[in-house]
Amino acid sequence: MSVPAPVRDRVPTLGFVVAIVCVGVTLRSGLTGVGSLLPAIAAGTGLSAAWCGVLTALPLLTFAAVSPLAARAVRVGPGRLLGPALAGVAAGLLLRSVPGVPLLFAGTVILSAAIAFANVLLPALVRAQVPGPRIVTATARYVTAMTAAAATASGIAVPLAAVLPGGWRTSLACWAIPAVLAALIWSRHRRREPPAAAAPVRAPLPWRSALAWRVSLFTGLQMLGFYATIAWLPSILHDQGISARDSGFALFAFQILGLLAANAVPLLRTRATPRTLAISASLLDAAGFLLLACAPKLAAVSVLTIGIGAGICLVLSLSLQSEHAPDAPHAAALAAMSQSIGYLIAAIGPSLLGLLHTLTTTWPPALLLLTIATTLQATTVPRDR
């Protein structure tokens, strides 16, 4: 996995950058609105709290299961597969919004499987079309779009459900429109690109590579901190005496800070090596969780540090999957392995923290666990190429 790749002479085209930004918009926006709409979904379908929990965990479990399959399919060509994956996103969004509980779950699985394919294909496409020094910039662009769309979707889901006919179903289904537009934009870009010089090959998943395991563990621990924060931050702050309104605003601020930090990564990379930046951001996360556990009155500072650290680590975890691969097939294999492991950890982590809180009836033990996890995350950062 560490064989150096030749640096390409050309820069990525504007069409490619626009296309991957549009794809980034579709990767989380269809999922993040579900949390805001869970009360309405439960009321409309009769789902119990336990089944609502299954519904929210299903995307992460599907990501973990499907990511290795996406790497196997890369021999068809990442560019050829991305269009059908986006069509699958749109189809899953529409199917999920059709009345009927089985269709709600089936649509969620289809949507999540299609996103899992796109998650794996994007690092491979970036590796194939972007010279090494610009990989982190291209990655930051689509991560910024992904984060902004995710925050927007969670923020407008309830207002849309209130004004659109069909309520929560239409609110969720409307995100099929960006998916269709992204598929059309990608198809147009593909027609303008010159054909590949050689047929793509499939690289095996690098289970025996120490480098791949370091990237995978960094990705997984980064996801654990991110999804645990998304799941529990409002509850933690509310239990510390902060109002429900301000706790919800803190979660919004966390996402916005992550968005700004993600967009700043290319600039930060000109002042620090990737490894130094990843270690620093991981320790910033750890400091934020520790501060939240030990000094609740400094919650605003905690949210600030966790948000900045999480945004930087998200971009770096994805750019590592491109930068540490010699070519696009190996980038797809590394992305598949690291994302499969990462989403499995992310699916287990929030439940584990919830169980720990139930057993202790307080949040500091769970926050100390996150502090340990993000500190370990700093030790998994691979050496710079």
Specify the DSSP element, H or E, that contains 125: helix 101-129
pLDDT score recorded for residue 293: 93
In the predicted model, what is the mean pLDDT of the chain?
86
Pull the structure tokens for residue 111.
């949507």
Q: Which residue has the higher pLDDT, 134 or 306?
A: 306
Nearest to 344 by CA among 14, 84, 32, 59: 59
Cα–Cα distance measured from residue 210 to residue 216, given in angstroms and rounded to the nearest whole number? 10
Tokens coding 115: 């996103």
Higher pLDDT, residue 317 or 321: 317
140-167 confidence digits (pLDDT tens): 888 889 988 988 888 888 889 989 999 9
> Lowest-pLDDT range, 124-133, 142-151, 204-213, 357-366?
124-133
Confidence (pLDDT) at 4: 41
For residue 306, the Cα-to-chain-centroid distance in whole angstroms is: 16
Q: Which of 334, 69, 320, 122 minimizes the C-alpha distance to 208?
A: 334
Q: 249: Cβ–Cβ under 8 A, 6 or more apart, which residues?
A: none
pLDDT band at 36 (very low <50, low <70, confident <90, very high): confident
Domains in the chain, ordered, with CATH?
14-192 (1.20.1250.20), 210-379 (1.20.1250.20)
Q: Is the pLDDT of residue 16 over 70?
A: yes
pLDDT at 89 over 80: yes
- 131 contacts 8 by C-beta, under 8 angstroms: yes
- Supply the pTM of this predicted model: 0.81
pLDDT tens digits for 246-268?
887 888 888 889 989 988 998 89
Q: b/e per residue, 169-197, with b = 16+ CB within 10 A?
A: bebbbbbbebbbebbebbeebbeeeeeee
**3-class DSSP state for residue 127?**
helix
pLDDT, one tens digit per residue, over 39-50 is 888 889 998 877
pLDDT of 301 higher than 90: yes
pLDDT in tens, 181-216: 999 999 988 876 655 545 456 677 778 888 889 999
Chain centroid, CA 26 distance in Å: 11
